Amino acid sequence: MQLQVKQLGRALSHESTSELAATNMDRLVSMLFHHIKTAEEAYYVGEMARGVDSTVAAKVSLTQDLVPVIGAKQ
């Protein structure tokens, strides 16, 4: 997963690949949001975001910040 998010960060920085990368990033964040159920899972996702591009890290950390909201809904 860490390799994938690093590749997305690189692709986001290139004009020719940024649109597809943004779509893929949105899809990944959506998948993570719908599958993360515990704080431990959110922590793992946050650890995978270490060293990635700031745009990618911001989206992944947003997903991590929403975990308490997910838990409250269940």
Domains of the chain: which residue ranges?
Answer: 2-73
Q: What is the pLDDT of residue 59?
A: 67
pTM: 0.63
What type of residue is 22? A
Q: How far apart are CA 28 and CA 64, in angstroms?
A: 13
> Which own/partner pairs from 28-31 qualify as long-range (CB within 8 Å, at least 24 positions apart)?
28/4, 29/59, 29/60, 29/62, 29/63
Distance of CA 48 to the CA centre of its chain: 9
pLDDT, tens digit (0-9, with 9 covering 90-100), for 15-68: 899 899 888 888 888 887 788 888 888 788 777 777 777 777 676 666 555 444
Reading the block at residue 62, the tokens are: 């947003």
